[in-house]
Amino acid sequence: MKRQLFATNTEWEPFIGYSRAVRVGDHIFVSGTTATDASGAIVAPGDAYAQTIQVLENLRVVLERAGASMADVVRTRMFVTDISRWKEYGRAHGEYFRDIRPATAMIEVKALIDPFMMIEIEADALVAG
C-alpha cells in the first residue's frame, strides 16, 4: 500500500525522524500538533482555549493537505499540562468536533517540549473510500 508523508519542513522533522502526517490508503495519522504559527512561534502563551484553537486549525490544514477534513477524524488524543483547565481545552475541541464526536482522550503530562505549550493533539482520520 502506498505511503504518503506530509511535512512542514521544520528542522525537527528530519532530526527526530517523523512526519507531520502519514497517509496509508484511507488512513491518516497526524503527529502531535502544538499551538504554533507558520513561523514556528508559539501562539497565545497562557491561554488554554486559544492554544487549542490554534492546534485544531493546524490539524485542519494538514488533514486537508492529506486529502481529508475534520469530519474524517475518528480519534484525537489531547496531552495537556494542566488538567484543571479541561473545560477550556474541551470547549475548543467541542467547537470543532461537536457533531463529529471522535473517540478522544485528555491526558495530563508533566511538560511539553516548550514550557509555553499547554496542549498537544494527535489525530487519526479515516477517509471514506
Q: Where are the domains of the chain?
A: 3-126
Kindly state the average pLDDT of the residues 68-95.
98
C-alpha cell belonging to residue 52: 487549542
pTM: 0.95
* CATH architecture for the domain at 3-126: 2-Layer Sandwich (3.30)
Q: What is the 3-state secondary structure (H, E, C) of 6-53?
A: ECCCCCHHHHHHCCCEEEECCEEEEEEECCECCCCCECCCCCHHHHHH
Q: State yes or no: pLDDT of 117 exceeds 80.
A: yes
pLDDT(129) > 80: no
- Asked whether residue 11 carries a pLDDT value surpassing 90, the answer given is no
- Give yes or no for a contact between 35 and 51, defined as CB atoms under 8 angstroms apart: yes
Summarize the confidence of residues 101-124 as an average pLDDT.
Answer: 98
